[in-house]
Chains A and B, each alone.
Chain A
Amino acid sequence: MQRMSANGSVTSLQLGSVAGAEKPDVHLLPCEIEHDGPAEVTRYFTAALKDRKHEKSVSFRGRGLKGQEVSCPHGYTGLVLRENHKPTSDQEDRTVRVSSVFHRFTYWNLDTPPTSDDGVVMAMAWPEIAEAIHGLVDD
């Protein structure tokens, strides 16, 4: 159980479910979809995805996307969190649980293939940099 607090309320994260959590494919799209819930990903997206010559491509809403697989930083696990009861005020304590875990995800760009200069790809190097900056220095 992990906790964080803000505004006097406590948010608890139930990690007990990590081991048995589902490991679905995770896709990060270059757009904001105003929807939070189930979607026919396998039927419309995964089925139409082309993976040729190291280039992944697919379309979403008619727009062409190019993708690349990105791994989570070494030693890290991606978590998808779910909150069963939305709090009614910011004073209320909250509980979120792990609904699924991932170790890699597919990062998609509009029109052009992702490169190592893209923010999301570069972000994955941060834990290693942080370790180098903040870690103990051997004499």
Chain B
Amino acid sequence: MDLSDFEANNSVSCRLSSAIPDVCKTEDCCLGIDEAGRGPVLGPMVYGICYCPVSKKDDLKDLKVADSKTLTEAERENLFHKLDEAKSFVGWALQILSPNTISNSMLQRAKYNLNALSHDAAIGLVQYALDCGVQLKEVFVDTVGPAEKYQEKLSQRFPGVEVTVRPKADSLFPIVSAASICAKVARDHAVKSWRFVEDLGDVDTDYGSGYPNDPKTKSWLLKYLDPVFGYPQFVRFSWSTAQSLLDSKAVPVYWDDDEEDGEKAAARMNCASMLSYFSRGKAQSSAREPHRFFTERRLQSLDTL
């Protein structure tokens, strides 16, 4: 699998895809959707679709694709190779959500949660297949959240397509297994050959599975913690594992949209807390408030440092 488009800029989201098999533009097709790397605190999350003519479902079964989680890395590579050999009737597309995209989205002012991010990635990929002329009739989706609501959302978004959302769909429908293999192979490659945008020299790549409970991942997170910048972009800052390590080991950073209360916040925001009324400090100078022109520009006249 060639990830060079993603590797050229791994700070953003990237779409990779196979050529569209001609037969998929003329025959009714089924399409599977699955994701890889939802849980890890390290590396990208990959959404994958795989599609083929409904009439070729049995040929796909003969390739013996299975749920990617039950396979070894070598087996997945092998199966992806087989899918590639079947390119006359099997197509795929991937949306690689970089860890930086995940952090930025989940931590933006108007929070964009992982479920919404995932749904939008899946919808974007189905729309891509439709835009390319794939004659979609059936869509099968693996889900971790409540299946009914998601199925309703997708059915409404894609009228005329029969949508089936099912937990563990990757072990029930071969076309979903195929999608999960494509996604997992991309995630494995991306993590293994991660090019750090930061200037960190030779980085220890022994980061384990990337799951927060993996001791190797934990010690890697401790080793690469910078007190000011926190982590390289390879880490998902929005994960509680990363957040709590930063809270305890890095210097505090305050943003104007932080939700904080109490006297400390009041002091930082330079306004009086309730308690200040009980202790009389120095008399405030009775000088005039500066004009709005200056406060809006945060200009202050300075007589002491």
Contact = CB atoms under 8 A, between A and B. Distances in A.
Interface of A: 4, 6-7, 11, 30-35, 39-40, 42-45, 47-48, 50, 59-64, 81, 83, 94, 96, 110-111, 119-120, 122-123, 126
B297 A48 contact: no
Contacts of B232: 44, 48
B277 interface: no
Given A40-B229, A44-B226, A123 B298 contact: yes
Given A43-B198, A47-B199, A120-B298, A34 B254 contact: yes
Contacts of B197: 47-48
B100 to A, nearest CB: 6
Contacts of A11: 304-305
Contacts of A120: 297-298
A77 to B, nearest CB: 16
Given A62-B103, A63-B237, 18 more contacts: A4-B303, A4-B304, A6-B303, A7-B304, A32-B253, A33-B251, A39-B228, A39-B229, A43-B198, A48-B11, A48-B233, A59-B233, A60-B253, A61-B246, A62-B237, A63-B107, A63-B108, A119-B297
B5 interface: no
Nearest to B105: A64
A34 B107 contact: no
Given A32-B253, A34-B254, A96-B305, A59 B268 contact: no
Given A62-B230, A123-B299, A48 B251 contact: no
Contacts of A111: 108-109
A24 B149 CA distance: 54
B292 to A, nearest CB: 11
Interface in B6-30: 9, 11
Nearest to A64: B104
Contacts of A7: 304
Contacts of A60: 229, 253
A64 B238 CA distance: 12
B148 interface: no
Interface string B206-233: 0000000000000000000011111111
